[in-house]
Amino acid sequence: MKQTSKETNKMKYVVMVGLLIIPVMYSFFYLKAFWDPYGNMQDIPVAIVNLDEGAQGKALVTTLQQKDALKLTVKDQDQANEGLQNGTYYAVVTIPKDFTSNLEKVATKERSQTTITYAPNQKSNYLASQIISKVVTVVEKEVNANVTEEIVGTLTDQLTKVPASVSQIEEGLGTIADGAKTIEAGSNQLASGSKSLTEHYQPFHAGIQNAKQGSGELTTGATDLLQGAKTLENGLTTYVDQVNHVATAMDSLSSLLATLSAHPEYINDPSVKASLDQASATLNAFATKQNGTSQIDILKASGTALVQGSNTLRQGVTTLQSGAMTLNQGLGSLQDASMQIQTGIQTLHQGASDLTRGTTQLSQGVNAAKDEVHTNRVKVETEVKALDGLSHYAKSPVVVKEKDYIKVNEYGTAFAPYFMSISLWVGALMLFVVLYYDVNDRFPLFSRNATNKVKRTLAYMGVATLQAIVLGLLLQLGLGYQVTNTLLYYSAIILTANAFILMIEFLIVHFNDVGKFLAILLLVLQLAASAGTFPIETVPKIFQNLYPLMPMHYTINLFKEALIAIDTSLLQTNLGIVIAMVIVFFGINITSDKIVLHKKK
């Protein structure tokens, strides 16, 4: 029996030690395991499949491997998919085959978007997929930055060529200005010459008009002359016919007179005979040929010559009339052409004048444009100099510099207030579950059957204080974190432990099994509504409404003051509320204990 009693006593100490280190076990191992998970990202296995047919894909793989952000393994598509399926890899990153070609076309119209595929297996580990996603996002930004650098570099190179092109335009405008001056001088000469031509051509045109009028008069005269020639020819023909008729009559008369002269017996009157003889002599005189030609022959020949001459005259006059008419028609055409020429000269002069004004305006405009281009060229040359280094700047135009208001160095430090609060609540709950309900009644002072309830309350507060000290000491030594103030650190842990033990005592002592349920329920609610992990704004509205009522809300904030940084106003608020919880529940429990004790007396 003595040996059994000794063993029982030993177990009592073992149990008590176990109860004291429960909060440490809960907090230490979890925080130690996840103290700095982001510092071990290089051990997360990820497969990368490079299908790129160019050099950029390989360069990207090398860049990613040099970053040492993940444990990247280059695999083919089948191997990567198999590893993703069986859990060898948390994700597969695939670089497409057109990666290089698309990047090389970024400054052309044939550019197209490149898609790097990221395929995580969220079933393997959801948080791992989120972490890898952030790394891939960083890679995406870097690739985009490189593409931006390439685009801006190309554009910058093209823009730096603009001043030279503008200079060529300026030189071209100078040449145009010189040409415009030459055109202006030529147009002035053309206007002057066309004016002089107009002045000199008007008398020529008037002469053509006079010649046309004279040719018309000539045609009329020739027509009249032709009519006279025809009349003369007709008269001469009639004359010749009459001369021939007279000659014939004279021949007949001469024969008759000769016959009468040969027969005087026919004429009794001597005077008649004398007249006949005289007439016969006269006729004989006309008929007598001298040098083989008689006067009547001469008269006939002259008549015939006159007819021939009048015929020739008529033909000449006809030719003259035809020529006069042709001349008149030609002069008419010449007059029309001259009129057109005169109109053309006037139009030429007007056009030359307009050309002169236009070339003057052109010259002025070209000179103005040349001056403007020169001004802009100088301006562009100055502004283009500002493009130096723009491609490098465009790669990272905005740098987000983290300037922490309050810096937390490790992931574990950020979550320590949350897990310390949970562990102290669990530790307090376990104290009551083990000590208060101990069926062997090995701890009479802590038992529900304890005679002095006040001492029991104080005893629980003492054990909770030991739990708090052990927790604070082992976490500080084991995890190596720094505290803002040692007194504040241990005071916060001790106050929290006592606040929780007093709350749980109140629930279990006064409500028994319902109290145990309420203590567990309160623990569960605080896990969701104390903003220990995610911001309270990200949880459902019901938990946001419960947030101000949760004890851990204030203990977590109090631990943050002790572990991370002290804000006087926050420290006073949270420390005051935790102290108030201790005072309120201590007062309730002690009052209840005294009432019970008084009743027993």
Name the band, by pLDDT with cuts 50, 70 and 90, for residue 16: low
**Euclidean distance between CA atoms 86 and 432, whole angstroms:** 46
Total-model pTM? 0.60
20: closest CA among 601, 463, 543? 463
pLDDT attached to residue 399: 60
Least confident range from 8-17, 131-140, 270-279, 318-327: namely 8-17
- For residues 417, 419, 425, 428, the Cα torsion angle rounded to the nearest 10 degrees is -100
What SS3 state is found at 257?
helix
* Whether pLDDT at 264 is above 80: no
State the average pLDDT over residues 157-175. Answer: 74
Rounded to a whole number of angstroms, the distance between the first and last alpha carbons of the chain is 35
pLDDT attached to residue 189: 83
- For residues 167, 170, 172, 178, the Cα torsion angle rounded to the nearest 10 degrees is -140
227-241 residue pLDDT tens: 887 887 788 788 778
Cβ-in-10-Å burial (0-12, 13-18, 19+) of 237 comes to middle
Name the band, by pLDDT with cuts 50, 70 and 90, for residue 2: very low
DSSP state of 406: S
* Whether pLDDT at 275 is above 80: no
196-222 residue pLDDT tens: 877 787 787 788 878 878 878 888 887
pLDDT attached to residue 3: 43
CB distance 468 to 497 below 8 Å: yes
State the average pLDDT over residues 564-583. Answer: 94
CA distances to 235, 289, 493 from 561, rounded to whole Å, are 157, 178, 12
188's tokens: 């002035």
pLDDT attached to residue 117: 85
331's tokens: 């002069």
Residue 449, amino acid: N
Considering only residues 477 and 294, tell me which one the structure prediction assigns the higher pLDDT.
477
DSSP state of 71: E
